[in-house]
Amino acid sequence: FVRKKLVSYLPQHDLIPSFLTVAEATRFYQAEEHKLQHYFPDWQQMRTMKSAQLSGGQRRHLEVLLVLFAPHP
């Protein structure tokens, strides 16, 4: 049983370039902000922070959400 366009990939290394802010990464990956805000409570406070300024856990949490909520090709 195979269905196309259902697999997303999150690499082990950082997905978000360190020079992008959280808001820029959200726009770049075309994720829906209202969904991110629901699952990432600190999103509003961190939207102007660069990816490099987030803790490893915060960055990974954001990356997982971006992969989940970004449109799939």
pLDDT tens digits for 24-65? 999 998 988 888 888 888 888 898 999 999 999 999 989 998
Nearest-angstrom CA–CA distance, 33 and 13: 23
Q: Give residue 2's pLDDT.
A: 46
- Provide the pLDDT for residue 67: 87
The reported pLDDT for the residue numbered 6 is 66
Tokens of 68: 């989940």
Residue among 11, 8, 24 nearest 73 (CA): 8
Residue 1 pLDDT? 41
**Token reading at 53:** 């300024």
